[in-house]
């Protein structure tokens, strides 16, 4: 995420990269049209852990109904080393504060599953079990 050397690995069948310089890891985006195609582990995919949990399912339905944005996890960094500076989020951006200023980490994109649910106006996810 910081242009340092990264290592590629696979976890649960999904490709990840880990940056040796900044200790950040992220799931690699592999879909050709990420705003149109749900990823294999999308929270809005039927049978996902989120859709099977009643509380999370209600929350997913509420944010669809209310139009609260839900962002895709692909490409979003997470810290491997907890001693690193925390990452910060803003509208469609993630950054780290450094002594030199802000260091851009990632750009957010909307979740394709959320987009599809908003288009279909399916707040009935809550009752349908995903």
Output b/e per residue, 42-76; b: 16+ Cβ within 10 A. Answer: bbbeeebebbeeeeebebbbebbbeeeebbbbbbb
pLDDT of residue 123: 47
Distances (CA, A) of 82 to 75, 93, 98, 103, 105: 19, 21, 16, 18, 16
Instruction: Judge residue 5's burial from the number of C-beta atoms within 10 Å of its C-beta, 0-12 exposed, 13-18 middle, 19 or more buried.
Output: exposed
The pLDDT of residue 39: 87
Backbone angles phi, psi at 55, to 5 degrees: -70, -45
**Tens digit of pLDDT per residue, the chain (130 long)?**
566 777 888 877 888 888 777 777 788 888 888 888 998 889 999 999 999 999 999 999 999 999 888 888 887 776 655 555 555 444 445 555 666 665 555 667 889 999 999 988 754 544 444 4
Give the 3-state secondary structure of residue 37.
coil
Structure tokens at 95: 């950054």
Per-residue pLDDT at 25: 79
DSSP string, 45-75: STT-HHHHSHHHHHHHHHHHHHT---B--TT
- Domain spans in the chain, listed from the N-terminal domain onward: 33-74+110-130
pLDDT for 79 equals 65
Joined together, the tokens standing for residue 20 give 């040796």
Query: Could you give the CA distance from residue 93 to residue 90 in angstroms, rounded to a whole number?
Result: 5
């Amino acid at each position: 995420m910081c242009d340092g050397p990264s290592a590629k690995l696979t976890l649960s069948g999904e490709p990840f990269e880990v940056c040796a310089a900044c200790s950040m890891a992220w799931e690699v985006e592999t879909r050709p049209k990420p705003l149109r195609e749900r990823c294999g582990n999308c929270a809005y995919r039927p049978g996902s852990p989120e859709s099977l949990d009643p509380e999370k399912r209600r929350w997913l339905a509420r944010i669809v109904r209310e139009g609260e944005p839900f962002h895709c996890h692909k490409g979003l960094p997470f810290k491997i080393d907890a001693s690193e500076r925390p990452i910060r989020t803003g509208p469609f951006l993630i950054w780290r504060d450094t002594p030199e200023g802000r260091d851009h980490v990632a750009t957010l994109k909307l979740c394709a599953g959320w987009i599809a649910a908003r288009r279909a106006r399916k707040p009935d996810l809550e009752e349908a079990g995903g």
